[in-house]
Structure 1
């Protein structure tokens, strides 16, 4: 079962995704106005039951990011060995993972354009798996980390490359341009460790494979990410952790292959789905 947040008829809903369209479920759960509330109440199984036998309610809709206004979106940087080697600084695997925040406004939904700003045209793609926290926790042990995941989704962690170089130790300003990245298209409930441990992530630009790797090769596995992050901050239901991108981002080609208007970017993980976005210049 897949669950999405979407807009139809000038109203925002959440519902079950089918091949024929959306089954609106939010009207049936007034105590859970958003998927963030559903996650906090451990309500995904109830949504699955409610969707059974119901007709499609919307065939014309626009995807939003699945979790509206999460308290935290935390991204893990440089988390594959080949990605570390791309920096050509001779460094071995770091002792601790690199982290940075992103704001919800920096992401758009699936099938919507990534926006290239007029100030700088080095818009780049980064295909990643994102985990949505379902159970709050602090100082979570790695062996317990998966118990705190409610659902999985995908992210294109779009980046304005020149702006991540504006300061010595910080990439925040290059990572938070409005609508420069995407999350979606939907949430897939997390039920089995194999959904992550055996996952292969592929990113295509205009049909050309640019990134292709397995999550098993991460320098900091997702269990360790959850444990490390929860050491310094309490993870809350609806928080999103974007887990790291493989080698092959546009900045690392010679010459770089940055995104331009008209490009189509797809991030695919079997068992989760495909996140597809076009690219447009800011109006």
Structure 2
């Protein structure tokens, strides 16, 4: 299934795509794609999408998950990206967090913060926890995932690495966490560790990679994270980016107002964002 949320920001409704790619309203069956609903999406498979109300027009597509709990991020998870950053491949996953106020829809604008000099892009595979757990065995890890999605880990490199403290100040700005367009259930993603991914800026291909090159694979990440804290339904994890980010170019290239960013992952949909200066 391809599930999504649509409507004005803060008032999104749950939806489902039918076989023709048309948006259908799910709000008579679930209140939102959030929380406990994510722990058992299997019952939605019993619904005939054609029986659901067709949503007309072109509504805004919101973040594919509502009421996110933890927004967990893995850094330097592609060896070739670590190399372009001038850093070694870590022995254990690099863990940081985005703030939930960074979450936005897949086509909402990228807001370039005041004082930004180095706003950058990162296409990433994301997943959301459905079944809660702690100390999860790697062999059982995939059963805890409710679905997968596309993410852009927008990053301000000056805030992140040159202004002291943790990475999060350069990772958690408003609209730095577009997720979606769809939450794709695991039955449609037979191997999350073998997905093509890409990102373009102003139609120029910048990133062209595959999740097959992740250092730490999805099952390991679920098990690893659960050793430190309980994973709850609605917790999201984004898993790192392949090479081709702006800071790795010679000379470095960063986003400015008016730039257009497009990105996607095979089977998980695409995002399209216009860069704007934050007010």
- Length, aligned pairs only: 278
Matches within 5 A, 1:26-175: 26=27, 28-29=28-29, 32-37=30-35, 39-46=37-44, 49-89=47-87, 91=88, 93-166=89-162, 170-175=166-171
Is 2:248 aligned against 1:252?
yes
**8 Å contact 1:155–1:182 — kept in the other structure?**
yes
Q: Deviations over 1:21-66 (max 9, x none)?
A: 421111x13xx42101464340354266152333412323111111
Offset of residue 211 of structure 1: 1.0
Partner secondary structure for residue 278 of structure 1 = strand
Give TM-score, length-normalised by structure 1.
0.91
Q: 1:270 to 1:9 in 2, by over 3 A?
A: closer
Output one character per residue of 1:69-106: Cα deviation in whole Å (capped at 9) or x when no partner.
211110000100111112325x3x32111011112211
Q: Kindly tell me: are residues 9 and 60 of structure 1, through their superposed partners in 2, closer, same or farther at Cα, counting changes over 3 Å? A: farther
Residue in 2 aligned with 1:22? Answer: 23
Task: Classify the secondary structure of the residue corresponding to 1:46.
Answer: helix
1:217 deviates by: 1.2
Q: Alignment partner of 1:63: what SS?
A: coil
Q: Distance in 2 between matches of 1:24 and 1:143?
A: 35
CA distance in 1, matches of 2:191, 2:47: 22
**1:2 counterpart residue number:** 2
TM-score by length of 2: 0.92
Distance 1:43 1:188, change over 3 A: same
Which structure 1 residue ranges, 5 or more long, are not aligned? none
Relative to 1, partners in 2 of residues 1:8 and 1:174: Cα closer, same or farther, differing over 3 Å? Answer: closer
Q: In structure 2, how many angstroms separate the alpha carbons of the residues matched to 1:46 and 1:248?
A: 38
Matched, 1:236 2:232: yes
Larger deviation: 99-108 or 146-155?
Answer: 99-108
Q: Supply the distance in 2 between the matched residues of 1:238 and 1:135 (Cα, whole angstroms).
A: 9
SS of equivalent to 2:16? strand
Distance in 1 between the 2:48 and 2:94 partners? Answer: 41
State the distance in 1 between where 2:62 and 2:3 align. 11
- Deviation at residue 272 of structure 1 after TM alignment: 1.1
Contact 2:71 2:237 (C-alpha < 8 Å) held by counterparts: yes
Question: Corresponding residue for 2:273?
Answer: 277
Moved more, 111-120 or 50-59: 50-59
Alpha-carbon distance in structure 2 between the residues aligned to 1:48 and 1:81: 42
Q: Contact (CA 8 Å) 1:23, 1:58: kept in 2 or not?
A: no
Aligned equivalents of 1:248, 1:225: Cα separation in 2: 23
Pick closer, same or farther for the CA change 1:62–1:215 going to 2, 3 Å: same
CA RMSD of aligned residues (A): 2.1
Q: Distance in 2 between matches of 1:164 and 1:13?
A: 34
Structure 2 unmatched ranges of 5 or more: none
Deviation at 1:200, TM superposition (A): 1.2
